[in-house]
Chains A and B, each alone.
Chain A
Amino acid sequence: MSRFPDAWTAVRGRPTRFLLSAWPWRALAYVASTVPIGLAWLILLLVMLAVGGATVIVVAGLFVLAGIPVLARLAAASERRRLRLIFPGRPAHQPPDPQPGRVSWPETGVTVLLATVFWLVDAALLLLLLTVPGALLLAPVLVRRDRLDLAGWRVDTSGEAWMAAGAGLVALILLAYAITVLACGQAALVRHLLDPPEARLAEAVQQLRRSRSGLVDAFETERRRIERDLHDGVQQRLVALTMTLGSAELDLPDGPGLDLVREAHQQAEQALADLRTTIRGIHPQVLTDHGLAAAVHEIAGRFPVPVHLDLALHGRLPPAIEAAAYFFISENLTNVARHAGARSAQVHAWTEEHALIVSVVDDGSGGADPQAGTGLAGLRARLDALDGELHIASPAGGPTQVRMTCPIN
């Protein structure tokens, strides 16, 4: 395959690269296959029209004529596949029929174009391709047997024959371009009819959304893996270390040795405490085990300012959403403690109509700036990835309310 994403890009690229690429051949395949396919559809259409028209009086004809949209749908499906010759990278699948049984005018249009204009034009160009450059290129061979008449140009010497061959080469190149441009034109028209740009955009957005939510899930899985590794590896080792040191303390007599072991024990415990804080920041285990409500109770329990919780959460939510909501609450309460000068805070969380809504309100001084600091920006990015939203209302003098809404699908 070439480095060009599609034939149209290739044809506008550097000539040597285009001519040496597969694109002229793909275009040729597209144009050449149009001829038999178009002819076949023409014959089928004519037969159906003739049979349907002749029998329309006995009603049966109506059924035959009603088969034309079905035919068009088949033709469109085959054209979608053939489009990949010119525009690869587009899925060839048929979009689901929004209203089965209804006539699709774009599909019918494509079929009629294919059965009438396309194959005729393509056949004419192919004929030109086969004859003119062919004859010119073969001139040096042909001139030995006979003289040649090429559209009023009499070629009878060997020198002239070589000139003719040169002209043939130029004609071949021009035709390669002509065929590719023609194929691109036809394919673009077919694509526009069968696969309008809005539909393509909508599909691209859909795909983007899928990949983005996949990324969020992967990110969440990775956080948990790190948390589990720390938990089952480093933390266990540190606990074992404190146990060994604790046992040593019992065995050692008073003296500098015991003092050193006690110091080492204290350091190991501090390391353990730090590790616990780190793990909680990565992904709190209680969130995995007991869900959002329990995890929020934990934060509130550690919080220096009284927090009133009103959590109407029933059952578990998807892990990515639980994690986003947890970090939303955690980050906002941290902000309340650090900046707001609040005397109390309230956390409300509830689900409605396939969405989780969480609000954190404090009675502090207000004036929170969503642009300042990285915490809120990080939360917003996290919510964006889940198609969620973040609203901040923080007039000077307070109160501050931060609210997140996140769809649950």
Chain B
Amino acid sequence: MRIVVAEDAALLREGLVRILERAGHDVVAAVADAKELLTYAGNVRPDLVVTDIRMPPTHTDEGLRAAATIRAAHPGVAIMLLSAYVADAYVGELLESTPGGGIGYLLKDRVGHVRDFLDSIDRVAAGGTVIDAEVVRHLVGRRHADGPLAALTDREREVLALMAEGHTNNGIAGELFVSEAAVRKHIGNIFAKLPLDPASDRRVSAVLTYLRG
């Protein structure tokens, strides 16, 4: 897979490149700011962009904005966003600016779990949506009162949360210590209860409904 890495801290940038390269990926560019990222992403047409959200010059959300620009120009590019802290304020922006799958949003700490991180990269590149477990937990905590999710049982919400984190049915079954058939049944119920967008993939649409509340 051809990857562009954008991260302003040199130490982390090199670490990311090392991890991705040892997994056999081709890191075509490793850049330090959003401007360079836009230049390279336009020139080398990577399959995936791994970018820090907060980068120079303003150290706010340059990475996020650059990702949205790249996606608008090249809808096929998968995006993995990294953040040093969890802010669910970013999730809304992320979903609005980059419709469709192929999006990941992870806490930087997760990169240290190299195998899981590489796994997330693959899932995002394959068109999946991977949202950091901590963000998902926040969202779970505050969505009890009303909205479409109120119709779900606690178990169904758990399953949906794991779907949002990017797990496969098999993975969800493993996490919850149930059979894959049971997971499929829960997912069927979820699809039936949520008002999903018929035009898009039901799984992605369910996750997005979940993340938007």
Where the two chains meet, the residues of A that have a C-beta atom closer than 8 Å to any C-beta of B are 228, 231-232, 235-237, 239-240, 242-247, 249-250, 265, 268-269, 272-273, 276, 279-280, 285-286, 288-290, 294-295, 297-298, 300-303, 306-307
Question: Which residue of A279, A289, A297, A306 contacts B88 across the interface (Cβ within 8 Å)?
Answer: A297
Q: Which residue of A lies closest to B111 (CB)?
A: A243
Between A and B, 28 residue pairs with Cβ closer than 8 Å are: A232-B59, A235-B84, A239-B108, A240-B9, A242-B112, A243-B12, A243-B15, A243-B112, A243-B114, A244-B15, A245-B112, A246-B19, A246-B114, A249-B114, A280-B85, A286-B85, A289-B61, A289-B87, A295-B89, A297-B89, A298-B88, A298-B89, A300-B142, A301-B88, A301-B139, A301-B141, A306-B142, A307-B142
Q: How far is the CA of A236 from the CA of B11 in the complex (A)?
A: 8
Which A residues are CB-close (under 8 A) to B114? 243, 246-247, 249-250
Question: Which residue of A242, A285, A298 contacts B111 across the interface (Cβ within 8 Å)?
Answer: A242
Of residues 104 to 150 in B, which have CB atoms within 8 Å of A's CB atoms? 108-109, 111-115, 117, 138-139, 141-142, 144-145
Q: How far is the CA of A303 from the CA of B59 in the complex (A)?
A: 27
Q: How far is the CA of A228 from the CA of B16 in the complex (A)?
A: 22
Question: Which residue of B22, B89, B112, B139 contacts A239 across the interface (Cβ within 8 Å)?
Answer: B112
Q: Is the CB of B138 within 8 A of A232?
A: no
Q: Is the CB of A272 within 8 A of B109?
A: yes
Q: Is the CB of A289 within 8 A of B89?
A: yes
Say what secondary structure dominates the interface of chain B.
Answer: helix
Which B residues are CB-close (under 8 A) to A245? 112
Q: Is the CB of B84 within 8 A of A246?
A: no
Say what secondary structure dominates the interface of chain A.
Answer: helix
Most B-side CB within 10 Å, residue of A243, A280, A290, A302:
A243
Which B residues are CB-close (under 8 A) to A302? 138, 141
Q: Is the CB of B115 within 8 A of A239?
A: no
Question: Which residue of A228, A265, A290, A295 contacts B59 across the interface (Cβ within 8 Å)?
Answer: A228
Q: How far is the CA of A249 from the CA of B54 in the complex (A)?
A: 28
Q: How far is the CA of A273 from the CA of B111 in the complex (A)?
A: 14
Most A-side CB within 10 Å, residue of B12, B59, B87, B113:
B87
- Give, as a whole number of angstroms, the nearest-CB distance from A132 to chain B: 76
Q: Flag whether B2 is at the interface (Cβ < 8 A).
A: no
Q: Which residue of A lies closest to B16 (CB)?
A: A243
Q: Is the CB of B12 within 8 A of A236?
A: yes
